[in-house]
Homo-oligomer: A and B are copies of this chain.
């Protein structure tokens, strides 16, 4: 169950409610976010919602049978809106594009990418300064200094940025220079990181589906951040690991459709990782839109062949332009339905 507290609820009222919840053999967890004050009750016994609902200090009460609660559409029918300021908004009914290189490589690359994106009317740039790499000997990103440089140049240009955070200790350091945190596919179940992104920041967080994570696990990971105190969340389908070897991952567009039904959070598609082959990014990006994605994130680079990482799935600027144009037309069609 989810109990929404009234603003200004008194402690004594809260205690009474918590006691009542415990009395029903439900485990209560208090959640306080930027937007609200909740009590999540987890348990299995049936109960009469009226036996609590009348109590003082309660704005609303909902029964949510899913394992995840706060991210479920069952209690919050209105979709979550992520407002990044300056008119940049991610929400159902809109369509946001995020593009940029796999790795931030230096000032020249940043400037060129910003110019490219601005010329296409894109306002969110992606890029990695902390790179999770299977091998300890591979390039691991420019780190915090790279982030500062990038953020400054982006800000000048009116561009928002999304970048991956890999561990708890990076959050405080990164926070002034980030518009959206990304949690990578290898960290989807790094629960301490998720906890801290709930407690330690007010910035939006986009959580990628795990390498072979289920849809329910992705929702539960989002529940960690929300219950930690941050409800500014996005989910991202980026392909799952299967036996098929012809593509890097298997883009699971079923998941986009199912997530749009199960949660009020925006759902983003990442076709670059989803198929991993440059010449097939476009059809998968367009397909993602028809499957219901609220946005697409993809990799672009002036010269993909020279990118520090992921070159094989990165578009050059001219391919990127074509894709952006077609995605917008595809979204317009979907909107007309």
Contacts and interface: CB of A to CB of B under 8 A. Distances in A.
A3 interface: no
A330 B288 CA distance: 13
A249 B257 CA distance: 13
A34 interface: no
A247 B254 contact: yes
Nearest to A240: B242
Contact of A283 (B193, B212, B241, B290): B290
A299 interface: no
B223 A135 contact: yes
A330 B195 CA distance: 42
Nearest to A262: B246
Interface residues of A, number: 79
Interface stretch (A114-122, A163-171, A172-180): A163-171
A192 interface: yes
Between A186, A224, A292, the greatest number of chain B beta carbons within 10 A of the residue's beta carbon is seen for A186
Given A192-B166, A287-B291, A137 B242 contact: no
A189 B189 CA distance: 11
Contacts of A239: 254
Contacts of A261: 279-280
Contacts of A169: 168-169
Given A168-B168, A210-B211, A291-B287, A244 B240 contact: yes
A230 to B, nearest CB: 12
Between A254, A255, A284, A289, the greatest number of chain B beta carbons within 10 A of the residue's beta carbon is seen for A254
Contacts of A223: 135-136
B186 A190 contact: yes
A215 interface: yes
B42 A137 contact: yes
Interface string A96-135: 0000000000000000000000000000000000001111
Interface in A174-225: 186-187, 189-195, 210-217, 220, 223-224
A321 B212 CA distance: 36
A87 B135 CA distance: 34
B280 A243 contact: no
Contacts of A330: 290, 333
A22 interface: no
Given A134-B217, A330-B290, A280 B251 contact: no
Contacts of A289: 290
A56 interface: no
Given A67-B135, A258-B280, 5 more contacts: A136-B227, A166-B192, A167-B192, A247-B254, A284-B291
Interface of A: 27, 29, 40, 42, 67-69, 132-137, 166-169, 186-187, 189-195, 210-217, 220, 223-224, 227-228, 239-247, 250-258, 261, 274-275, 277, 279-280, 283-284, 286-292, 326, 329-330, 333-334, 336-337
In the A-B complex, the 6 residue pairs with the closest CB atoms: A212-B212, A286-B290, A287-B287, A186-B189, A167-B192, A287-B291
